[in-house]
Structure 1
Amino acid sequence: MAKTQLNVRVDEATAEAARERALQRGVSMNRYIEELVLKDAGEVGQTFVEAASDFMKQYERVFAEEFGLDADGAPGPTAPAGNPEGLPGTT
C-alpha cells in the first residue's frame, strides 16, 4: 500500500509521550501513530454498532407492532394481508 506523509504539530509533552510509548511498544513512531488511528476508527465503528443495537432493543416492540412481526422477527398474526413478511411497500 502506498504511504502518504502527514505533518502534524503537537506540544513537546505530547511528542515526548508518543516517543516513549512507541519505544515501550518496540515500534516506530510512524507505526505507533498508525495503530492509534486504526484503533480509533475501529472503536467508532463498534460504537455505532452498539448504538444501533441499543436503538433496536429499545424500539423492538414499536417495530413489531408497526410491521406485524413477532419477537423473533417472523411474520406475526398482525402482518397485513398479502404481506407475510410484514414489510412496508411489499405485497
Structure 2
Amino acid sequence: MAKTQLNVRVDEGTARAARERALARGMSVNRYIEELVRQDAGEVGHTFVEAAADFMKQYEAVFAEEFGGDREGHRHGRGEGRR
C-alpha cells in the first residue's frame, strides 16, 4: 500500500503520550496513529449501522404499511413479482 506523509502538530503532552503508548505496544508512533484512525473509522461504521437499525425499528410500522411487509425477509404487496 502506498504511503502518504501527514504532518500534524500536537502539544508536547500529547506527543509524549503517543510515544509512550506506542513504545508500550512495541510499535512506532506512526503505526500507533494509523491503528487509532482505523479503529475510529471502524467505530464510525459500526455506529452508522446501529443508527440505521434504530431508524428501521422506529419506522417499522410505516414501512410495513407502505410496502406490506409483515414478516422479516418476506415481500408482498407492491412489487411482489419483482425479485
The two structures have a TM-score, normalised by structure 1, of 0.81
Task: Map 1:1-91 to 2 at 5 A.
Answer: 1-76=1-76, 79-80=77-78, 83-84=79-80
TM-score, normalised by the number of residues in structure 2: 0.88
The structure 1 segments of at least 4 consecutive aligned residues displaced by more than 6 Å after TM superposition are none
CA distance in 2, matches of 1:2, 1:67: 46
Counterpart residue type for residue 14 of structure 1: T
Aligned-residue RMSD, C-alpha: 1.6
Describe the SS at the equivalent of 2:51. helix
- Tell me by how many angstroms 1:75 deviates: 3.4
* Unaligned segments of structure 1, at least 5 residues: none
Identity across the alignment (%): 73
User: Is contact 1:64–1:71 with CA below 8 Å preserved after alignment?
Assistant: no
In 2, Cα distance between the equivalents of 1:32 and 1:75? 47
Structure 2, gaps ≥5 residues long: none
The structure with the largest helix share of the pair is 2
Q: Per-residue deviation at 1:84?
A: 2.1
Indicate the structure (1 or 2) with the bigger Cα radius of gyration: 1
